[in-house]
Amino acid sequence: MTQGPLTTEAGAPVADNQNSETAGPGGPVLVQDQALLEKLAHFNRERIPERVVHARGAGAYGTFTLTRDVSQWTRAAFLSEVGKQTETFLRFSTVAGNLGSADAARDPRGWALKFYTEEGNYDLVGNNTPVFFIRDAIKFPDFIHTQKRDPYTGSQEADNVWDFWGLSPESTHQVTWLFGDRGIPASYRHMDGFGSHTFQWNNEAGEVFWVKYHFKTDQGIKNLTADEAVRLSGVDPDSHQRDLRESIERGDFPSWTVQVQIMPAAEAAGYRFNPFDLTKVWPHADYPPIEIGKLELNRNPENVFAEVEQSIFSPAHFVPGIGPSPDKMLQGRLFAYGDAHRYRVGINADHLPVNRPHATEARTNSRDGYLYDGRHKGAKNYEPNSFGGPSQTDRPLWQPVPVTGGTGNHATPVHSEDNDFVQAGNLYRLMTEDEKVRLIDNLSGFISKVSRDDIAERAINNFRQADPDFGKRLEAAVQALRG
């Protein structure tokens, strides 16, 4: 079935798409060949700046179905009725690699989930781990610089990575996760997802609860060993993206059971760990996960660039009944994500089909800018106005959080059992002997590449403080490799 003639961007038919217009059969190309010039000019501009982090990704549309009444904790409309379904878009990614890197890398996996709710889009932007390397956003650019290419060598350098981690002991818990078996998922379908941060839920009565999100894979956890990942990266660098797409194409829709941990706001101040510290988990014995729903991915994007590369997510995209917490990493991300997309995709990125609300309409007074589509026509662009324009609701999306003390550069508050090593040690002691062997092998192989003994010793000492056996075995393995 023909689609009609090939045309220029302006719609005029193209007479010849095989030969440029020239001055005679062997002469130079003419500047009046606008089909050629337009084609080359567009080709030169086909790429936009890649994400600084989470550049390498894949995504799919799906459905979230609520299976439990949670109205006692939140007034969010999409969480208001058992059986209610909400369209979603989920983007998976690696963190440190560039756009052309391999999927099967030892790296956290990004978990960026957009709910197209009737009250606007709600974005939940987390990882496949419940914790992170640092607890304060002011350290994030420095951390990522250690993971990216060195400005002199042009390669990732073990010295940079372990120098930073060794001097940032709060990273010990996440590093233990990363170099364990779950550091290289076999596919995006075979890993869990987490909101990672602590968020606020508030109900109709104005009561506040702190919440953590868990997405437990229904396909089961599957991981790759370091050797398997190296081979797969060479044979099929697109392995995870391909697996996700093909599973949906054959109707094998991946799904996750959605759980939350709920903490009444009054319990936060006295809890044994700082509940807003991103390097810590809430032990399940303290706050057992509660199953609330099912997430299923069931539709592939039609165009990867338009719907995956140009998709934008921001943890600042809340809906009524959900809001932020005092988590210092989250607070920094509330600004950084939106700012990254304004630079990378443009000020009207929210107008693109994958990003705009699907179950409601965005009504703002923002106008113009790069790629503005004129959707507002002649409507007034100020508020208040007497022409029937949109107006404020006088009801905030979330409840205020009490604060005390003077302004200043404060360290994160420490609770009774807080330190940088206790949960890393707990994670190590939960591992089987085989898991411990692989963890030591993975860590020692990387630490052994460090050029300075003091950097290696400082790195090992963090794991020694997490668990004496952990440190002893890692030290011996590194020494054996370094000779």
Catalytic, 160? Answer: no
3-state secondary structure of 29: strand
Rounded CA separation 468/461 (Å): 9
For residue 384, cis peptide bond before it (omega within 30 degrees of 0): yes
Q: What are 108's two structure tokens?
A: 């956290």
CA nearest to 239, candidates 193, 192, 191, 188: 188
Phi first, then psi: what are they for 315, rounded to 5°? Answer: -65, -5
Distance between CA atoms of residues 393 and 39, nearest Å: 48
Residues 6 or more apart in contact with residue 451 via CB below 8 angstroms: 158, 159
Q: Which distant-in-sequence residues (6+ apart) come within 8 Å of 262 by Cβ?
A: 73, 201, 209, 210, 211, 287, 290
Tell which residue, 51, 233, 237, has the closest CA to residue 144: 51
Alpha carbons 9 and 14: distance in angstroms, whole number: 10
Active site residue 127: yes
* Active-site pick, 54, 317, 341, 358: 54
Note whether 160 and 455 are within 8 A (CB).
no
Annotated active-site residue in 121, 127, 300, 442: 127
The catalytic residue positions are 54, 127
